[in-house]
Amino acid sequence: MKFENYGIGIIKGMAVTISHLFRHPTVSQFPEQRLNISRRSRGNELVWSREKCTGCATCAKACPQGAIEIITSTNLKENKYEVEKYKVDTGYCIQCGLCVEACPYDALFMGYSYERAKYRRNDLIQADDELLESPERPVSGYFHPEIAEKLPKQTLLVEKVTEKRKQE
């Protein structure tokens, strides 16, 4: 006679639950404790470098959404394109990172910050100088290993099994 279903399953379950009462909960108290996000994070924004950009528009061709608009004119004296307008509709962008991968001159970076919400939808369309790198708009190391090495390491839950109250 096999004895089963007499309540032992329930008792085992309750033993597991009560043992969790004595462990640290895996909770981090935002905004006092902030964890580091991935070094290759594909954040909300696109960062453009005016010096390196040549106006080849490979990024605009690679974007699946068509969110990048580039207007260039020729500069016959210095024999290169001059970028008049570089406009990105970040509301339309899906943060796939294909433009960063496509750029042959390393002029594009994904953003690293994540608290960059705007109040109006029109503010999401960013052009020219709003797209440059600045302290509020750090760059992430997606597809740029030399930048990724300088960013802080990502906090992993496998390393921190218990979460302390104060951030160290």
Partner 1 sequence: MVIPDFALNAPLAMQVTPADWPGGYWWHWLFFTIIIIAFVLIMVMGVIYIERRGMGRMQSRLGPNRTGPFGLLQPVADAIKVLLKENIVPATADKVVHWLAPIIAFSPVLMIFAVIPFQNGALLADLNIGILYIIAVSSVATVGVFMAGWGSSNKYSLLGAMRNVAAIVSYEIPLALTIVGVIIFSGSLSMNQIVVAQDIPYILVQPLGFLLFFIAASAEINRSPFDLMEADSELTAGFHTEYSGMKFAMFYLVEYAEAIAMSAIITTLFLSGWRGPFLPPWLWFLIKTLVVFFVMVWTRTTLPRVRIDQLMALAWKFLFPLALVNLFITAIEVIFWPDISQWIFVGVNIVIAALLVILWSKLFKIGWGRLEV
Partner 2 sequence: MTTTRELVLNTEPFLLNIGPVHPSTHGVYRMRATLDGEVVIDIEPVFGYLHRGIEKLMEERSYTGCIPLTDRLDYVSSMTNNLGYCMAVEKLAGIKVPEHAEYIRVIAAELQRIANHCLAIGAMLNDAGALGTPFFYLWREREKIYDLLEMLCGQRLMHNYMRIGGVSQDMPEEFLPALKKLIIQWQRFIEEFDFFLKQNEILIARAKGVGVLSRELAINCGISGPVARASGIKRDLRKDDSYLIYDRFKFDIPTGENGDCYDRYRVRIEEMRQSLRILEQARKQVPEVPAKAELPHLVHPPAGEAYAHIEAPKGELGFYIVSDDSIAPYRCHVRPTSLINLTALREMVRGWKVADLIIIFGSIDITMGEVDR
**Is residue 119 involved in binding partner 1 (CB under 8 A)?**
no
**Is residue 26 involved in binding partner 1 (CB under 8 A)?**
yes
3 binds, among partner 2, partner 1, none (CB under 5 to 8 A by kind): partner 1
Q: Would strands 46-48 and 80-89 be described as parallel, antiparallel, or unpaired?
A: unpaired
CB 103 within 8 A of CB 47: no
For partner 2, give the closer residue by CB, 84 or 101. 101
21 binds, among partner 2, partner 1, none (CB under 5 to 8 A by kind): partner 1
Question: Tokens 């905004």 identify what position?
Answer: 31
d(CA 34, CA 95): 22
**Is residue 6 involved in binding partner 1 (CB under 8 A)?**
yes
Question: Counting every residue, how long is the chain?
Answer: 168
- Kindly list the residues in this chain that would bind partner 2 in the complex (CB under 8 A): 4-5, 7-10, 12-13, 16-17, 26, 37-42, 62-64, 94-98, 101-102, 110, 140, 142-143, 148, 153-159, 161
Token pair belonging to 115: 């608290």
Token pair belonging to 53: 């950009």
Part in contact with partner 1 (CB under 8 A); list of ranges 17-25, 31-39, 98-106, 114-122 = 17-25
Question: Tokens 């290759």 identify what position?
Answer: 40
127 binds, among partner 1, partner 2, none (CB under 5 to 8 A by kind): none
**Is residue 166 involved in binding partner 1 (CB under 8 A)?**
no
Residue 93, judged by CB atoms within 10 A of its CB (0-12, 13-18, 19+), counts as: buried
**Is residue 7 involved in binding partner 1 (CB under 8 A)?**
yes
Alpha-carbon separation of residue 101 from 19, 48, 144 (angstroms): 48, 13, 9
Q: Residues in the site for partner 1, rule: CB under 8 A?
A: 1, 3, 5-7, 10, 13-14, 16-18, 20-21, 23, 25-27
